A and B are shown apart, each in its own frame.
Chain A
């Protein structure tokens, strides 16, 4: 584990040309001394054992020169001397066939974790939603809608009359929208679909063609899913219902991109919940938790949404939203977001390539991952433990990663083959195979800015681009590409190290963007700013020998603000850390405001400065609320064991 005060590799000690010359001359003289000693030993025909003793000592001379120079110059020892030089002098006997893991990897990490949350079983289905709506009320609603349509000459009239129907209850309003969806679905424009034509259709055309169909059953095309549901959202908003557009991939046999609508509504029992309307199909979700509601929609559509799930208004696509299944699949496929990856590299000042084995066990997930040099391989098995909002029943995945890098540029290419079992809304399971491709390109540079008696300044800066592509039916070709994402992040970290090297302070900024559709109707690709981050922190060695770390970050995100804070202390073999995260969402319908607190305590095994291992106990509590509704608290606890091999 690296010490917080270790100097970065780039921060080499500056030597004057005279000093370099003295060192070079010394190394030449030492080499000559060693060569001369070997020659003298051979000439004297020393006994083999004595010769080996001498050779062993000469090896120590060379090794000590390399090690001390490497340490003074903060340069990898490999750069200073070729290893063969040592081997020429002394050929080590073959070591016994002890564990060879240490030749393969640096660490073995084993994590056991468990999540706890209270899940209420939702009452799903259209009948349950309308259960308390009487026949009279149903008839009254349909007659009211009939009156509104027949009495309206254009969309303006129609919307105005709908706004006067505010006294209807939520179930009646949803019934009206369901009927509008039913009639408009008959006006679906297949020509537009065939031509991949994405245009805005005027509200007047939408209304006229709907009215024509309603009154005469004559079909005149309007638009495609985005146009129809955009009109439905406007109708809902006129009635005072909070409504929006949701996009995703649907279709059991032939998956395709789709847009439908969502709304907040009280059901017959007066409980507010998210309902989705896909034309005339009503999908009550029984929850205000948006991520969970998406899980119910996925079960309805028999498709998972990876990279394709966005919320929006008729005028604008807002941001991506994730179901539990999408989070699981992205994690399995190695996605962590461009900003997070960049931030790790800005801290390290270099491209990080761990060589390790990770084993993770939780009640839902079993994972084994091995990474070495340019390759990594992971096998993940996930099985749901009866959560109705998780649309995945189980998955098996195999992820293979190729990693290429030089000092400043890195490229990760992960290909994950997934076998998915997806729940429907009954007890059925659908099996699907997919391939997810992840391409991550990164650039990082580290530069020492100044070094003086007042301390040292260094600047790390970099750029990361994360690209994802999802291929259905396990076919790795253009026709099977069903969804994609492209996200980029650029940032820098300025570091100051005090003259005594007992304190290190930094300030970090990042800026991130993503390619996405402009709006649900025109669907033009635009670059959208995801957000920016300002992070400050420091670590200081205090007199007792303990190291104190403090960090805080402020994220300005597309959906609100997030503040993070961590405080830690390390002393001898013990490490303690506390963290807090506060999210204030401006879109609480979709992304909850939340408070998260976490803590971990770690203990090093073996020697303090080079432990044999580490045991880390961690835990967290998460409180979320969607609008006025608080979610039950979520807890996570776990133990992580790290074994260092060297």
Chain B
């Protein structure tokens, strides 16, 4: 998994975020996510801001933050469905 992350064109900070993200996942989900990243690395740039917001939300859940995350996710979905 180290190699997979190291091979991505990411900053050190982004690699760290991705690394922590992996660590917290159960084995099967981690395998799925590994597979996605190796086959669709272009999604990573859209993922980081969402991960950041989710971290903030889970530490201090507010309706405003929930709404903001859902808006960000919807925007990515809309882009993909265009």
Interface residues on A, range: 35 or more
The stretch from A37-45, A119-127, A187-195 touching chain B is: A37-45
Q: In the bound complex, what is the Cα–Cα distance between A123 and B48 (angstroms)?
A: 76
B66 touches which of A29, A69, A95 (Cβ 8 Å): A29
A368 contacts the other chain (Cβ, under 8 Å)? no
Query: Is A71 a contact partner of B66 (Cβ separation < 8 A)?
Result: no
Q: In the bound complex, what is the Cα–Cα distance between A73 and B62 (angstroms)?
A: 16
Query: Is B55 a contact partner of A68 (Cβ separation < 8 A)?
Result: yes
| A27 CB → nearest B CB, Å | 9
Indicate the member of A26, A64, A103, A612 with the most B CB atoms within 10 Å: A64
- Which residues of B have CB within 8 Å of A69? 58
Indicate the member of A22, A57, A67, A612 with the most B CB atoms within 10 Å: A67
- Which residues of A have CB within 8 Å of B46? 57
Query: Is B28 a contact partner of A87 (Cβ separation < 8 A)?
Result: yes
A610 touches which of B23, B70, B77 (Cβ 8 Å): B23
Known: A26-B61, A610-B23, A646-B1. A33 touches B74 (CB 8 A): yes
Name the prevailing secondary structure of the A interface residues. Answer: helix
Q: In the bound complex, what is the Cα–Cα distance between A29 and B67 (angstroms)?
A: 9
Q: In the bound complex, what is the Cα–Cα distance between A83 and B54 (angstroms)?
A: 19
Residue of A with least CB distance to B32: A92
| A646 CB → nearest B CB, Å | 7
Query: Is B33 a contact partner of A59 (Cβ separation < 8 A)?
Result: yes
A77 touches which of B26, B54, B61, B80 (Cβ 8 Å): B26
| 0/1 string, A44-87, CB within 8 A of B gives 1 | 10100010011011111101111111111100111000010011
Query: Is A30 a contact partner of B24 (Cβ separation < 8 A)?
Result: no
Query: Is A44 a contact partner of B25 (Cβ separation < 8 A)?
Result: no
| B32 CB → nearest A CB, Å | 5
A93 contacts the other chain (Cβ, under 8 Å)? yes
Query: Is A607 a contact partner of B54 (Cβ separation < 8 A)?
Result: no
Q: A residues within 8 Å of B by Cβ?
A: 15, 19, 22-23, 25-26, 29-30, 33, 37, 40-41, 44, 46, 50, 53-54, 56-61, 63-73, 76-78, 83, 86-87, 90, 92-93, 95, 103, 606-607, 609-610, 612, 646
Query: Is B47 a contact partner of A60 (Cβ separation < 8 A)?
Result: yes
A53 touches which of B40, B57, B73 (Cβ 8 Å): B40
CB within 8 Å of A: which B1-60 residues: 1-2, 16, 19-21, 23-29, 31-36, 39-40, 43, 46-47, 50-51, 54-55, 57-59
Known: A57-B46, A606-B2. A64 touches B21 (CB 8 A): yes
- Which residues of A have CB within 8 Å of B31? 92, 95
| B45 CB → nearest A CB, Å | 12
Known: A77-B25, A83-B29, A646-B1. A30 touches B70 (CB 8 A): yes
Q: In the bound complex, what is the Cα–Cα distance between A410 and B40 (angstroms)?
A: 44
- Which residues of A have CB within 8 Å of B24? 66-68, 70-71, 77
- Which residues of B have CB within 8 Å of A92? 31-32, 35-36
B43 touches which of A37, A40, A56, A78 (Cβ 8 Å): A56
**4 closest Cβ pairs, A-B complex:** A67-B24, A72-B58, A26-B66, A92-B35
